[in-house]
Amino acid sequence: MTIEQAFTERMDEGELMNCMRCGFCLPSCPTYIQTGGDEVHSPRGRIALMKAVHDGIIPVTDEMTNSLDVCLGCRACEPVCPAGVQYGQLLEEARSIIQDYKKPSLKEKIVRKTVLNELFPKNEQMNRAVGLVRFYQTSGLQKGIRKIGFLKLFPESMREMEQVLPAIPKKVQSDRRRLLATGEKKATVAFFQGCLMDTMFQGTNQNTIRLLQSAGCDIVIPEDQGCCGALHGHAGEKNKAVDMAKRNIEAFETMEADYIVMNAGGCGAFLAGYDHLLSQDEQWRERAGRFKAKIRDFSSILIQHGFDKRIHFKKKPHRVTFQDSCHLRNGMGVCNEPRELIRMVEGADYVEMKNADGCCGSAGVYNLVQPKMSMQILDDKMENVMEVEPGVIVTANPGCLLQMKLGIERAGLGRQIEAVHLADYLMDE
């Protein structure tokens, strides 16, 4: 079967036809804006390209695949689509087909192999890798390497990323799989740890758990859980994502929790899409549906359980803004809750920045494989940040957090602005 035949067979024709080409998505698309209004780099254009291949009008060309590669997958086009086209699903299927047929470039191969095959599916590896980063940071190696200019061999964005990686905490092996609510119990939640959150951002996970406890949640942490598979799914590695989905469903369905809760929008939206990912699999479809129905971001749970009546946060007066996580907002429909939580903090002067709902350019491994577009988007983002002059930028996803740290560094604002995760913002003094 040729790649074009695979498009005809595997792409969801009904969904492709649901796009009626009204163009309502155009103003929401970061790459359409960045390219000065290039239809090739718009959601409508990308769907038209997929449909044209599906219909046999054009073959798969480098320009066609490039159009899909340049897409951030931020899904900002979905909530603004009156016709309700599931763009993210179309994109993932198309990428999966291309992945099955195309030979990726050497650079992409390396990123894919290390990030997707080695790091993320295996928690031990992630532990070890992040452990290495910690070793690198604490052993004096970081200083040495910076001195001899070894990092000049890497692309600019990766060099800068090296500078903003957070100080890695020593891995705390916790065997505590069940934690109790503070005060009256309102719900039992199963906590999804996430790979990055569980290693590089362990402190954030601990803070999230404490917040959930304060909100009246008993917490269970299933031992057998793994990576959500989002990076794989977004990158066209559908089969790997399916394996991970099954593993997580198995790990969580025995827990009898009211909700499955996480603090990373990217993971949350992907977990909430397991039902679609497994829709072709009769044995798993229903289980995935039940799993999906329980997915919540921690911010929703805090608001839902009247968190504000239980806890009062007080900080020194400061100005703060929020950068949406695209998948939290566009995938899970959560955007008010984090803002409400920030506004609850005494001393917080919350200012909404322009285009806060626009992608920051992090987008999974996008900032590694499409550094130019990613940095263009980030630099525009920082201009909006500077307009509101915040002391703190709050984020709701690890990728966004690292990207905002990078943006602050690039803009030379390291002394004035701090980027933090919502859970840390609420908990830390």
Binding site for other proteins (CB under 8 A): 14, 17-18, 20-24, 26-27, 36-40, 42, 45, 48-49, 52, 57-59, 61, 63-64, 66-67, 81-84
Nearer to other proteins, 14 or 317 (CB): 14
Q: What is the closest distance, in whole angstroms, from the C-beta atom of residue 20 to other proteins in the complex? A: 4
Q: What is the closest distance, in whole angstroms, from the C-beta atom of residue 148 to other proteins in the complex? A: 41
Q: What is the closest distance, in whole angstroms, from the C-beta atom of residue 82 to other proteins in the complex? A: 3
Our CA dihedral for 313, 221, 202, 270, rounded to 10 degrees, sits at -90
Give the number of other CB atoms < 10 A from CB of residue 98.
Answer: 20
Q: Are 374 and 382 in contact (CB under 8 A)?
A: no
Distance CA 224, CA 159 (A): 35
Which tokens belong to 363? 């987008």
**Structure letter (DSSP) for residue 330:** I
Q: What is the closest distance, in whole angstroms, from the C-beta atom of residue 14 to other proteins in the complex? A: 6
Q: What is the closest distance, in whole angstroms, from the C-beta atom of residue 397 to other proteins in the complex? A: 24
Distance CA 296, CA 397 (A): 14
Q: What DSSP string describes 224-269?
A: T-----HHHHHTT-HHHHHHHHHHHHHHHHTT--SEEEES-HHHHH
Nearer to other proteins, 61 or 105 (CB): 61
Nearer to other proteins, 54 or 305 (CB): 54
Nearer to other proteins, 65 or 362 (CB): 65
Q: Which residues contact 292 (CB under 8 A, 6 or more apart)?
A: 271, 272, 273, 274, 275
Q: What is the closest distance, in whole angstroms, from the C-beta atom of residue 45 to other proteins in the complex? A: 4
Nearer to other proteins, 20 or 132 (CB): 20
Q: Is 58 buried (19+), middle (13-18) or exposed (0-12) by CB count in 10 A?
A: middle
Cα angle: 285, vertex 288, 294; to 5 degrees? 145
Nearer to other proteins, 22 or 132 (CB): 22
